[in-house]
Structure 1
Amino acid sequence: MEQITIHNLPFKPFVTSDKIAKTNAFLAKRIAEDLGPDEEPVFVGILNGSFMFVSDFIRNYPHPCHVSFVKLSSYKSLDSTGVIKKLIGINEDLTNKTVIILEDIIDTGTTLEEIYRIFNEQNLKQLKIATLFFKPEAYKKELPIDYVGLEIEDKFIVGYGLDFDGLGRNLPDVYQIDK
């Protein structure tokens, strides 16, 4: 991995695709053990950033499950706007189902708060949150996060589905801003 430039800003290598793959396998195994083989969870990815994470996670999940997506957005450039825009929702009945939210990254918790609001209106059996990356220094909420892949420092990252103004999602590794 070498340093890259996106929109004239430097990004240094941060997390390799191998480490991401191991983290995905770990999370899928842990959730499968917690739920057991008889539970059929609905995994909900938060678009756009989580699409790669969800895809790889699901390939590692050993039991029957369902997959859906919701699109929420709060970022503009490098900063969270603090305003959530719900763009695409779930159209299936989730009554008495276990829903596991698959987030690419949780930082301030603003998106997570909206997720809780949306899904608490459903009549769920249980709601759990899993995130590939978590920034504990940036987290401003008191909502539970059930599964954390990697805790990282509060610096902007790109790659593996995460973007910087639309670029970088296709990178198999994750890069951190170098400033």
Structure 2
Amino acid sequence: MICLADTAGSVGNEKRLLRLSRKTNMLMQEVICLPDNDGSLFLWRNFMLEFQAERAQSLLEKTELIHDAATVRAAVARIAFELNQRFGQPGSPAYPLVLGVMGGAVVFTGNLLPQLAFPLEYDYIHVTRYGDGDRGGRVEWKVIPRKNVAGRIVIVLDDILDEGETLAQVRQRLLDMGAAEVVLAVFADKETGRKKAARADHVGLTVPDKFVIGYGMDIHGAWRNLPEIRALRPEAIAS
């Protein structure tokens, strides 16, 4: 059986579900079930795609602009300039390894790399942190560097520095693997007002202590593609 959530308890209320999802941002609690066949599966998939699109659009309408696209581009260019000054001058450390943190940093990394004017090697890592809230917890490495980091300068690129717990553990793991130095470059640094477990060496811009989206940062998987940075308004979080 394929089950749909519906407060009304009857088939055919997809539009009502979509309207309700604008307020709740989640599927309803009561469940109806359809026969498990190709037709039902097609209807289910179409419903979920429409639901997700409606939810994403509704959430975007509840955001406010924090940094426009021009400010974002300038922030990336500033990090590129700083890294070029540090690694692109005569006598600078040679051939650093650049690691992008998937998946939030993919947009930042893709725009930064073409602006770096020194020889480098690129790889990526993928980590997930488990724990209560934003502090503590264990980092699970889903993808470790394929390149040997021993004795090398490693530049880690990430989308946002929140509490710094994940990046602190990433840096320590790379040092334990033999990296000579780990340089942290983040696109955004969140102004939490609290002491962070790690500080970035290079920061593009700061964002307020709010839920921010755009330029690689998502909400429910959506809006990583925004060229600007937006924050959810309080009513969006409360709904």
TM-score between both structures, scaled by the size of structure 2: 0.66
**Shift in alpha-carbon separation, 1:120–1:7, aligned structure 2, 3 A:** farther
Distance 2:193 2:141 in 1: 22
- Identify the residue that residue 140 of structure 2 maps to in structure 1: 85
Question: Structure 2: which 5+ runs fail to align?
Answer: 1-54, 235-239
Aligned partner of 1:169 among 212, 224, 228: 224
The Cα offsets for residues 124-150 of structure 1, whole Å up to 9 and x where unpaired, read as: 221111111001325543434211111
8 Å contact from structure 2 (residues 165, 198) kept in 1: no
- Identify the residue that residue 52 of structure 1 maps to in structure 2: 107
- Identify the residue that residue 111 of structure 1 maps to in structure 2: 166
- More strand by proportion, 1 or 2? 1
Question: Structure 1: which 5+ runs fail to align?
Answer: none
- Identify the residue that residue 65 of structure 2 maps to in structure 1: 13
| Residue 132, structure 1, aligned to residue 184, structure 2 | no
Aligned partner of 1:64 among 91, 94, 119: 119
Q: More deviation in 24-33 or 131-140?
A: 131-140
**3-state SS of the aligned residue for 1:27?**
helix
**3-state SS of the aligned residue for 1:6?**
helix
Distance 2:127 2:194 in 1: 18
Aligned partner of 1:26 among 71, 75, 78: 78
| Residue 141, structure 1, aligned to residue 141, structure 2 | no
Q: Percentage identity across aligned positions?
A: 23
Question: In the alignment, residue 18 of structure 1 is paired with which amino acid?
Answer: A
Question: In the alignment, residue 31 of structure 1 is paired with which amino acid?
Answer: L
TM-score between both structures, scaled by the size of structure 1: 0.86
- Identify the residue that residue 6 of structure 2 maps to in structure 1: none
- Identify the residue that residue 102 of structure 1 maps to in structure 2: 157
In the alignment of these two chains, the number of paired residues is 173
Question: In the alignment, residue 13 of structure 1 is paired with which amino acid?
Answer: L
Give the deviation of 1:174 after TM superposition. Answer: 1.6
- More helix by proportion, 1 or 2? 2
Distance 1:7 1:81 in 2: 31
8 Å contact from structure 1 (residues 109, 140) kept in 2: no
Distance 1:27 1:52 in 2: 14
Q: Highest CA radius of gyration, 1 or 2?
A: 2
Give the deviation of 1:155 after TM superposition. Answer: 0.6
8 Å contact from structure 1 (residues 131, 147) kept in 2: yes
Distance 2:83 2:105 in 1: 17
Q: More deviation in 87-96 or 135-144?
A: 135-144
The Cα offsets for residues 40-86 of structure 1, whole Å up to 9 and x where unpaired, read as: 111111110000100111011111111111112349xxx64854332
- Identify the residue that residue 154 of structure 1 maps to in structure 2: 209
8 Å contact from structure 1 (residues 109, 139) kept in 2: no
- Identify the residue that residue 21 of structure 2 maps to in structure 1: none
